[in-house]
Amino acid sequence: MMPIDLAAIASPETPAVDPAPALAIDGVTHAFGARKALDDVSLTVPRGSFTALLGPNGAGKTTLFSLVTRLYDNRSGSIRVLGHDVRREPAAALSRLGVVFQARTLDLDLTVMQNLVYHATLHGIGFRRARARALEVLESVGLADRAKDKVRQLSGGQMRRVEIARALMHGPELLLLDEPTVGLDIGSRAALLAEVRRLIAREGIGVLWATHIIEEIEASDRIVVLHKGRIQAQGSLPDVLAAGHAADISAAFLALTGAAEASGPRGEEG
Ligand code: ADP
Ligand code: MG
């Protein structure tokens, strides 16, 4: 009989029954005509993590989101949401996913509640349940007292929070946000970030937050640096600093996304 090696069982190398990450992308390439927008991209968003997808304009952030949400079909590699492949099990994958797109998509002339209930009924949630759930998610983004207000009366930051609330209506375990702070002032940006971080702490969902603004990153975040369709670095802040041979994130970002080009024409639009 083999003696049981207790040290091996207790060691961190022992493969635990590891739950699937919120998002696992493996070897995904996507081209528009001859131009490769994503080139062999692999990344992971652990459950309960704030993962910043950091990349300048044109890096491929929105293209990546479009593949995860199946706006585009990924023909190479694999994309799994909570272990469900978006191609082979699209319903299972998409039902666990909430998205806040780059462009605002609320109806300004409807109330906050109407926007949420309308969205939920599209997802097949009944009216009564939708109303109850809407109050819950509004509470969780700090807008419970604005349910009856028209969206038009809200600030830009509050509108974004309504979009987050809407994305949470069906109880997703992965939340994607594509440059959610664009157009917000510094105060609203910080408030939105704090709100999302609280959400992660409370609900344990995984968040992928696309941005080109390094100030949005905190020391405990997971960071994925994307540039010209390629992953330049990925991991904890120290991992990314090491990859960029830099002392701070702004120097690392410049090093990894081509500091040499900083003086050239800016804003490769995406
Ligand atoms: P980001 O969101 O990081 O700014 P995008 O994913 O929008 O970047 O764009 C990545 C690259 O793909 C850019 O070079 C952009 O011009 C190109 N691109 C994006 N969408 C299309 C499209 N529908 N047709 C052709 N090229 C596109
Ligand atoms: Mg974009």
Ligand 1 site, residue 211, Cβ cutoff 6 A: no
Task: Provide the sign of the torsion angle of the four alpha carbons 85, 171, 42, 19, taken in this order.
Answer: negative
Give the pTM.
0.88
Average pLDDT of the chain is 89
Three-state SS sequence of 197-266: HHHHHHHCCEEEEEECCHHHCCCCCEEEEEECCEEEEEEEHHHHHHHCCCCCHHHHHHHHCCHHHCCCCC
Ligand 1 site, residue 37, Cβ cutoff 6 A: yes
- Strand partners of residue 234: 224
Ligand 1 atom showing the smallest separation from residue 229 Cα: 10
What are the tokens at 145?
Answer: 């007292």
Q: Tell me the CA–centroid distance for residue 149 and ligand 1, in Å.
A: 36
Ligand 1 atom showing the smallest separation from residue 55 Cα: 3
Residue 269: pLDDT over 60? no
CB atoms within 10 A of CB 160: 27
* DSSP symbols for 107-169: -TTSBHHHHHHHHHHHTT--HHHHHHHHHHHHHHTT-GGGTTSBGGGS-HHHHHHHHHHHHHT
Q: Using one digit for the tens of pLDDT, what is the confidence trace for 56-96?
A: 999 999 999 999 999 999 889 999 999 999 999 999 999 99
Q: Between residues 6 and 262, which one has the greater pLDDT?
A: 6
* AA identity, residue 140: S
Q: Using one digit for the tens of pLDDT, what is the confidence trace for 10-42?
A: 555 555 667 899 999 999 999 999 999 999 999
Q: Using one digit for the tens of pLDDT, what is the confidence trace for 161-212?
A: 999 999 999 999 999 999 999 888 898 899 899 989 999 999 899 999 999 9
Which protein residue's CA is at the shortest distance from atom 23 of ligand 1? 32
- Strand partners of residue 44: 24
Mean pLDDT, range 138-157, rounded to an integer:
94
Task: Convert 23-41 to b/e letters by CB count within 10 Å (16 or more is b).
Answer: bbbeebebeeeeebbbeeb
Ligand 1 site, residue 63, Cβ cutoff 6 A: yes
Q: What is the DSSP letter of 19?
A: P
